[in-house]
Amino acid sequence: MSWHISLTRFASAHIVKKQDAVNSCGIACILMVNFKIKKGLMFAGLSAGSAVSAVPVPGATFAGATLSNAAIAMAVKTEPEVYRIYGDVVGTVYDGTAYTDAKKHPEVLRRLGLGNWECFWAGSDGIGAAIKAQAKAGAPCIVHVKWKAGGAHFVCIDDVHSPFGSPYACVNDPASGEVVVTELTSSPINYLDNAGVFSGWIVRRVSAP
């Protein structure tokens, strides 16, 4: 699986999923949201697994290993599994050859056990505030990018930094597998040296599991 570690100038580290098919950016973003939300559970499970394994009682080692493996399995979904879930939601077989529908993303995220989500139109003037609100709440989000040359793209944003007052989003881009630090002050918000803009659509969490 094509997962990458990307570092930013804010000394933050991010796990980025590079899309495995030309039009599977939405699926890659869902995978990143799934991992980023569940990684805390994964690390807690690994820690608890180690603690249980250290307890000198029969079966403890097995229990610790089982807990650790279950935590990892919950945190990292393979792309084909999410393809299947998305296909179940839209009622057809999905193989990554077509763009996903952002309005279907909330149900896929819900079926992954990530709480309740919505596809929300914040508009070009409100998308920056919507992204900052999600980061403050501790939840990643999926943002729609409109390319100026035509076409569209999905990215996952998991953090916002404001070192000198201006907010900068850490945009996990599945096309490159890298984090693109993007200032959130313009309207519309320009992306990748003005190659595109944040259209105003955001897939955001409205309640935790």
Query: Tens of pLDDT along 145-198?
Result: 999 999 999 999 999 999 888 999 999 999 999 999 999 999 999 999 999 999
pLDDT of residue 199: 98
Kindly state the tokens that stand for 23: 């039009």
pTM for this entry:
0.86
Lowest mean pLDDT among 69-73, 80-84, 124-128, 135-139: 69-73
* Buried residues in 43-58 as b, exposed as e (16+ CB within 10 A): eebbeebeebbeeeee
Pairing, β 168-173 against β 3-7:
unpaired
Element (H, E) at 180: strand 178-183
User: Could you count the other beta carbons within 10 Å of the beta carbon of residue 124?
Assistant: 15
**Per-residue pLDDT for 52 more than 90?**
no
Q: Residue 145: CB partners within 8 Å, gap ≥ 6? A: 152, 153, 154, 155, 191, 196, 197, 198, 199
User: In this predicted structure, what is the pLDDT of residue 85?
Assistant: 96
Task: Note the Cα 206 to chain centre separation in Å.
Answer: 15
Judged by DSSP in three states, 83 sits in helix
Q: Is the pLDDT of residue 64 over 80?
A: no
- 184-200: buried (b, 16+ CB within 10 Å) or exposed (e) per residue? beeebbbbbeeebbbbb
**pLDDT value for 60:** 46
What are the tokens at 14? Answer: 């991010």
Q: How high is the pLDDT of residue 67?
A: 56
* 187 vs 183: CA distance, rounded Å: 11
